Structure 1
Amino acid sequence: MNAEPADQIRLLEVQALDARIAQLDHKRRTLPEHAELERLGADLAQLRDLLVAAQTEESDTAREQTKAEQDVDQVRQRAARDQQRLDSGAVGPKDLENLQRELTSLAKRQSDLEDVVLDVMERREAAQERAAELTARVESVQAKTAEAEARKSAALEGIDAEGFTAAKEREVIASTVPDDLIKLYDKLRSQQGGVGAARLYQKRCEGCRLELNITELNEVRAAPANQVVRCENCRRILVRTADSGL
């Protein structure tokens, strides 16, 4: 294949732009905010689960406290009625003994139930404190997530703008390169890890970084300037310049 030396030089410009576009794509995929957001998302999911558990416990203990307080109130009302009968003096000796025994029993029952109420209140308060703490932590992680999202969006906006400019420039320069040459370059680039053309610099192929041996150098020296030569090692298009060391 033949192509004017100027067209081959422009191919290096296309290669440089393709390399820059590939770098931008890699940068887009590997932004530190991606990993940060993934970590924050996992933290947020865990905290939300813990918060739901704390809120559920607070709700359960609230119902438990209401029930325990109702039990205490019922015992108090029963004791008040018994005390009222006792104080009326309108009970016989046998009923008097029974009332006194029941009042003693009710007093013990009330004391036990009040202990239950206190225990439930303490557990409810602990659950409320835990829920409040987790709510604050959830809000903190949400704020960090919003900040990371904003940083990611700003970074992507800059990368996309630079990528758009590079792609347009690549389109313009590639349109000036002969079709057969650009097609060969694109084919090789897809086969060779994104590099389809490389400069021959100081007798070394900048594609595979290997120095040409004397036989290969002599073949390149003998090739007409408009002949498209290939590196014998990596088979990429080898572009000759004033710095090729020929």
Structure 2
Amino acid sequence: MVAAQTEESDTSREQTKAEQDVDQVRQRAVRDQQRLDSGAVSSPKDLENLQREIVSLAKRQGDLEDVVLEVMERRESIQERVAELTERVSSVQGKVDDATARRDAATQQIDGEVATVTKQREVASATIPADLLKLYEKLRVQSGGVGAARLYQRRCEGCQLELNITEVNEVRAAAPDTVLRCENCRRILVRTSESGL
């Protein structure tokens, strides 16, 4: 769009200059015609030269007017292109504004959810023994942010590996409050009714 606007501006200047050139030739032709009509030219040679110059100026004026028309046509085409690009930029900017508003709304919603979950985590962590919480935090750092994983249908959802029969039997035999860890990824295993035990 900037390139098209620059081209339109350049063409506008070109048109102005071409129109000025036409005006200069027209004014000179008018002056020469007035001299011819006034009878101020006495010698036949000067009269012939003046007539030749008026014809030459008329041809020059015609050529310059053709240039003006050609520049005007180009400028009109460029103006249409600028208008089209301006409309497209406006449309894209509207989409950008809409996407930005949706992003900001989603960010605000996520921030609210983070605040809620953070409060819930603080409440829950207050009920967990300090040594278990310390172990969880250590594992979380080592395991890319996930220190505990649900045992679902005999599969650790941390490493996605199924426990072998020996491990399943150990989990079954363990007391409900025993802290169990996955043999593969070392995360704390969280047992539920869907653990498949």
Q: TM-score range by the shorter chain?
A: 0.7 to 0.9
In structure 2, the partner of 1:82 is 32
Deviation at 1:145, TM superposition (A): 1.4
Distance 2:68 2:193 in 1: 93
Number of residue pairs the alignment of both structures matches = 196
TM superposition shift of 1:222: 5.2
Alpha-carbon distance between aligned partners in 2 of 1:55 and 1:213, rounded to the nearest angstrom: 71
In structure 1, list runs of 5 or more residues that go unmatched. Answer: 1-50
Higher gyration radius (CA): 2
Residue 210 of structure 1 aligns to a residue whose secondary structure is coil
Task: Indicate how the Cα distance of structure 1 residues 225 and 120 shifts in structure 2: closer, same or farther if over 3 A, else same.
Answer: closer
Q: CA separation in 2, counterparts of 1:169 and 1:158?
A: 17
Tell me the secondary structure at the aligned position of residue 238 of structure 1.
Answer: strand
Between the aligned partners of 1:123 and 1:237, the Cα distance in structure 2 is: 74
Higher RCO structure (Cα 8 Å, ≥6 apart):
1
TM-score (norm 2): 0.86
Correspondence for 2:85? 134
C-alpha separation between the residues in 1 aligned to 2:136 and 2:11?
72
SS of the residue corresponding to residue 184 of structure 2 reads coil
List per-residue Cα deviations over 1:126-157 (Å, max 9, x = no partner): 22222222222222211121111111111222
Cα drift, residue 97 of structure 1: 1.0
Say whether 1:234 aligns with 2:185: yes
What's the Cα RMSD here? 2.2
Q: Does the alignment pair 1:57 with 2:7? A: yes
Q: Are 1:179 and 2:130 an aligned pair?
A: yes
Residue type matched to 1:55 in 2? Q
Aligned partner (choices 90, 94, 97) of residue 48 of structure 2: 97
- Structure 1 position 109 matched with structure 2 position 60: yes
Query: What is the CA distance between 1:173 and its match in structure 2?
Result: 0.0
- How many Å apart are 1:119 and its aligned residue? 1.3
